Amino acid sequence: MGWSDLPADLVAAIADRLATELADLARFRSVCRPWRSGSEARLRVPRLLIPMMSYETSTERLVWSLADDRLREAPLAGARGGHSFFFASHHGWILTVVAGDGDLRATLVYHFTGVSEQLPPLPSSFCCDGGGKVTLDGLSWDWSPQGVVVSPGKGALFCRPGDGSWRSVGCPSAAVTSVTACDGALYLFDRKTRNATVVDAGTLAVAAVIEPPALEIPRWERDEVEANLVVCPHELILLVRSKLHHPWCTGWPRFCKAFRADPRAVTGGRSPSWSEVAGIGDRAVFVDNLRAFCVGANDHNGLRRNCVYEASSYHAIDDDYDYSFDRYGRMYSVAVLDFANHTTESLSFGSLVKLWSAGDGQCSSWLMPSYTY
């Protein structure tokens, strides 16, 4: 009997014990095809990249595991020589931007293998406020085989592999809060208006503008509702829901609606029509400040079906830190919104609740383990 002849249930049991250690799981998957197939579901649990500042140390890059509530350090190539910013993705890639020496150096890093790819520097006007301070709070981005698209909050820039410059896509004045690349198209979404501009990744021309469905939002919720666009190969999902402010907002009924549309209408020059659905089925949606994406929920990865996992952060004051002064910083949280009863549950426990980022810090973002980059 060879290694590939081991019973499937035994292979699955071994993979379960390795699921939180990606290096060991990568070696496990390289043995043979049956072992790779038997471990596939174990990979589909997003992790949370947390770039934070500390009073005692320089910038730290940590990864929080949803599966076992562990924090691990995340060394990243290309994050030296200036003020660094980090933005994860559901493809496993991390966009790093280093502000220093008069430019904004951009690098793609595949965290799980260490592979990196240099991008052209971003324009100096990309993310500076009126006082010349570098700020990337409004940045959104995504990666696809066609290239990388980055938005500073209005319009977007696109760079193909091997190109030495960025090109403008979409409407330069249009607000953009999330970017998703899928099937040769770029979806530039505005959470406030809930409009999605679809750009052809080949020609960089606007293919369609998808209008949102009509909504009846309770008057007391109108200023507290936000939207997320989930782009899948064969469907679009629009989530409209109450904002989550702090992790102690647990158990309260929340406004939450889901709509589905067929993206194939865009190829025919039509705007897809939305239809309301009861939920997202045997899937979980992960949301952060950058985007929203779907993951299959199953017995192996432990994710809750028909739920939304939201990563957020908020500014806080630690008045117990020292008797002489208060400590200002950022704290991080993860909550789960259940479509079945429209209530939320905080997952901010254990390692995550102990994190404190001095000053402004940076927002966290979901990082999907994958070896198919």
Rounded to whole angstroms, how far apart are CA atoms 155 and 123?
13
Cβ atoms of residues 191 and 177 within 8 Å: yes
| Residue 372 belongs to a domain | no
Do residue 30 and residue 138 come from a single domain? Answer: no
- Phi first, then psi: give them for residue 87, nearest 5 degrees: -135, 115
CATH number of the domain bearing residue 302: 2.40.128.630
Q: Do 176 and 270 belong to one domain?
A: yes
CA atoms of 197 and 206, how far apart (whole Å): 7
Interacting residues of 325 by C-beta distance below 8 A, sequence separation 6+ = none
Do residue 227 and residue 150 come from a single domain?
yes
Judgement on whether residues 141 and 204 belong to the same structural domain of the protein: yes
Print the domain residue range for 18: 1-43
d(CA 180, CA 140): 9
Q: 265-278: per-residue pLDDT in tens?
A: 776 667 788 999 99
Q: How many domains does the chain have?
A: 2
pLDDT in the model for residue 179: 95
Residues 39 and 125 in one domain: no
pLDDT in tens, 68-118: 888 888 777 655 556 788 999 998 899 998 877 667 889 998 877 778 889
Which residues of the chain have a pLDDT value below 70?
1-6, 8-31, 33-44, 53-59, 77-82, 101-102, 125, 127-135, 220-222, 244-253, 267-269, 318-327, 348-349, 359-361, 370-373
Residue 290, pLDDT score = 92
Residue 159, CA distances (Å) to 54, 100, 196, 204 in order: 34, 21, 21, 11
> What is the number of other CB atoms lying within 10 angstroms of the CB of residue 10?
10
- 3-class SS of residue 40: helix
d(CA 98, CA 79): 6
Residue-level pLDDT at 373: 39
Q: Are residues 70 and 15 in the same domain?
A: no
